[in-house]
Structure 1
């Protein structure tokens, strides 16, 4: 069992930290709103810290799951950040979906100060975090990864080292690129089927067993058909992630035409007021466009 800290108790971090405690690890939590950290401790035990530096002091592994690159810097290298107090030989594991640039930046600082760094973004959404079945994509040194992997498995069903620092974030970008195209395709299929007068649920049940089947179809097809968009990853978050993908593509020369246009479509959903709808709300955009037409 390890002494660990968890920084960031959002919809993902809150249950991930809980799984660590349930597996017997000694957990200290930090959240920007201290009351939320106190609430977590009241439910799960452990200790609440008022700063990332306080949370990280004396820990073997420090985990973080925050919003973006700037949030990540604020809990690591900024004044009062975790990097101020982390001990030599400890490890920092970042579950934030962020840029590969910030992963490499923080890994360099960590190496200089004598502790390890692993970028480890996750896939599986809030349900995956709640149920402890996340997929974790990692970048970093093999020795550091080997030390943290057994602890990460407290809330994961799959975890793999994919290369040096930044590789986890690049893999997460691939994941989001795949999702963007899949959801748009599913939205168009359901939109087409409705106009054709088909029984959408019956058709989805059939085609989900064949080559068109996907996690999105199995988990979002029915709710999309019912016009319900309250089941997971918000449009605002997806646009943040796709922005990271498109920025990286501009740097490495990759061409992402579908990703770029789906990002624009999500911008239209935001203008419809769907900022907090889940990513399957691309169908709502198609339906509104059809009404206007």
Structure 2
């Protein structure tokens, strides 16, 4: 656990967390909630599609709730992992939302990749109700969620972070507080900007090498020991060569994330020319039918262009 702001150690009260709720059992949330159950915590889950929640309970135990409010009742921590800003508001707010069921002092931890604005909005609303809010987007993909090895970037008050951090470590390799509310989401934007540029660069490099007649498996093995090495090269290079894109982080999700980055850049004045261009390239992949392909499918776009499609 790291706290880039206070560098403080989580207090013993974190050890007292026993009852948690998890809202959203998609490809990420399902295994994340599972790690909490395996750790011996009392877990109540909610999912918009109730059969998925019932499946989770059959596999891990715990309890399924009919509404986010019901799931949050009596929980020390409420975790959420849903699709976007609107999804997040729908499970957090309103008569049946989680905020309405949370006890004073409880912490809402949002793992959704969403905007910094919604994080600040919900943090302010939580404060008026005597509860706490942490924006805590994750990096590591489905594999990281299954292995319990995610990287979590957090924004929010230090006390709330300290209350939640040890519990988050059940499905994370690193949990770090970046700053105030919204800082976690901003850090995730930085992450996605980096990923977009690296994947496009790797796609162009492999395509170039193939056109030059090189053995690209051998080339990646060689340059992977030097300055060009990256997670993307190590984990996606060979599958890009093989044209395998049926796993990992989907293009539709990446476009959603890059849209958030570009919108934030308009607000803060940052220039993102490469990110904007790669976003357009992912749009091309969608137009070609690759919506659910992994983000490494940028090389597929280049191959389709060469084929005149």
User: More deviation in 46-55 or 71-80?
Assistant: 71-80
1:239, 1:24 → 2: CA distance? 37
SS at match of 2:291: coil
State the Cα deviation string for residues 91-123 of structure 1 (Å, max 9, x = none).
000000000000000000000000110000000
Mapping for residues 1-293 of structure 1, pairs under 5 Å: 1-292=17-308
3-state SS of paired residue (1:255): coil
Give me the whole-angstrom Cα distance separating, in 2, the residues matched to 1:261 and 1:78. Answer: 38
Deviation at 1:250, TM superposition (A): 0.2
**CA–CA separation in structure 1 for the residues paired with 2:292 and 2:101:** 36
Cα separation, 1, equivalents of 2:94 and 2:187:
27
The two structures have a TM-score, normalised by structure 2, of 0.94
CA RMSD of aligned residues (A): 0.8
Match of 2:144, SS state, is helix
CA-to-aligned-CA distance 1:34-68 (integer Å, 9 cap, x gap): 11111100110000001000000111100000000
Deviating above 3 A after TM superposition, structure 1's stretches of 4 or more consecutive aligned residues are none
- Which residue of structure 1 aligns with residue 11 of structure 2? none
- 1:292 aligns to what SS in structure 2? coil
Deviation, 1:187, is: 0.1
Bigger RCO of structures 1 and 2 (CA < 8 A, at least 6 apart): 2
Q: Deviations over 1:2-56 (max 9, x none)?
A: 2000000000000000000111111000000111111100110000001000000
Q: CA deviation at 1:179?
A: 0.1
**Structure 2 portions without partners, runs of 5+:** 1-16
Q: CA deviation at 1:291?
A: 2.1
Aligned length: 293
